[in-house]
Structure 1
Amino acid sequence: MRATESLLQRPGVRSVVEVIDAQYGGILSDSASVLVVCRQYSLVDGGVRSGGTTVDVRLIRSGQTWRVTALHPAQPGSAASRLSASATRVLASDRIILPPASMADVRSGQVHDTVLNAMLRLAQNYRIGVSVIRSGHPQNVFGTNRPSDHPRGRAFDTWQIDGHAVVDPATSGSLITGYMRAAAAAGSYNVGGPYRLPGATYFSDATHHDHVHAGFST
């Protein structure tokens, strides 16, 4: 993750970077996208200032070696002057844990209320660790020309459920599948994760073994 740390460094400013999560944005046999979700702490004017971003790290494979070819930091946009009631509730919730870029996404007003309302519904029964909402995600579904729901503010990824990482082999499969079903019940038309559940709503692949994706049509 040294390339990501270098991207976040500012000349003359002492800072440290915490990697909250690193998940696949896509993986093929010879190329990959890894979404590195970061929080940064900087010493400014004698005080500690927190921030951070999500970086889409692109890699290519040559033999057994993966090499970084590009870094695409999140661009969430400016904060909106007015937010919906759902956005305000999501930002205030202590059961929806948003990393810096995702928090900025919600503050920008560019996340659909269908997504926000689904988060709020899921938070009634789960404590949700969100990794990616809109910014910092590939524009297209990786390896295709098909637009992703994420940049359009119509999807979110969950890396942690009730304090348990989705990728952790020790995490209960029933916790993850229950959450996937709850995401569908909350309105997602496209739920991806490490388990392939029955029905057209669900999918599983190598990219989604480490998080749960929930996409929305509007």
Structure 2
Amino acid sequence: MLQVIDAQYGGILSDSASVLVVTRTWARSPAGTISGGGATYDVRLSSASPTWRVTEIHPSQPGTPVTPGTLAHEVLSSDRLDLPPASSADIASGQVHDSVLEAMLHLAQTYRLGISVVRSGHPTYVFGTTRPSDHPRGRAFDTWMIDGHPVVASATPQALVTAFMRDAARAGSYNIGGPYAVSGSAYFTDDTHHDHVHAGFTS
């Protein structure tokens, strides 16, 4: 069985797009044992008539798990951070920077967060550019839900999202993208980030 947890833009241009499909799966063995898993898929689309068409699908590749450090263990065991399988595996692989983990834990003191993408399953470059994304380097995370409110939902209070964006900056993020304009050099908004909040870190 497959559950789509979230689908968000990884990037959108006039004639192409990246949609990140975050999933959880369950499988039953012949003996009846149920095992869980999941992946995040970077689905690439190109405009075509009459509809857009899928051109590529890139599944997440989190890497081999290692013994988690203290911060990773705290993030993975927090009941205030809802991590999809690929993001949990990213953290368990030891390839996510401490700055990201510290920020998650700091923000979780105030908010209950639904995380969508951390490292793997995200485009290598900022979509439509040759600029490396912070995600594959383990220096960013995306949030699709705050205190049970999807960022993209029209009923979600704008004040909640902008407060979270400001708190992400206080937690150390130098690059915060979201659906609303916030005053300050650390913040940006565009079509790609109308459905989630991005927080990037320098190290």
Choose the corresponding residue for 2:76, options 91, 106, 110: 91
Tell whether 2:67 aligns with 1:68: no
Pair 1:121 & 2:106 matched:
yes
Pick one of 18, 21, 28 that aligns with 2:6.
21
Secondary structure at the residue paired with 2:47?
Answer: strand
Shift of 1:64: 4.2
Task: Determine helix, strand or coil for the equivalent of 1:178.
Answer: helix
1:188 to 173, 185, 190: 173
Partner of 2:131: 146
Runs of 4+ in 1 over 4 A off after TM superposition: none
* C-alpha distance after superposition, 1:64-121 (max 9, x if no partner): 41000011000000001x3221111001100011000000000000000000000000
One-letter identity of the residue aligned with 1:55: Y
Partner secondary structure for residue 52 of structure 2: strand
Partner of 1:57: 43
- Whole-angstrom CA distance in 1 between matches of 2:145 and 2:71: 22
Percent sequence identity over aligned pairs: 64
Q: What is the number of residues matched between the two proteins?
A: 202
Aligned to 1:12: none
Counterpart AA for 1:75 = Q
Q: Measure the CA separation in 2 of the matches of 1:155 and 1:170.
A: 26
Cα distance in structure 2, aligned partners of 1:63 and 1:197: 37
Indicate the SS of the match to 1:70.
strand
Task: Give the Cα separation in 2 of the matches to 1:177 and 1:47.
Answer: 44
Question: How does the TM-score come out when normalised to structure 1?
Answer: 0.91
Q: 1:196 Cα deviation (Å)?
A: 1.0
Q: Say what the alpha-carbon RMSD is for the aligned residues.
A: 0.7
CA–CA distance in structure 2, aligned partners of residues 156 and 143 of structure 1: 20
Match of 1:202 in 2: 187
**Amino acid in structure 2 at the alignment position of 1:161:** I
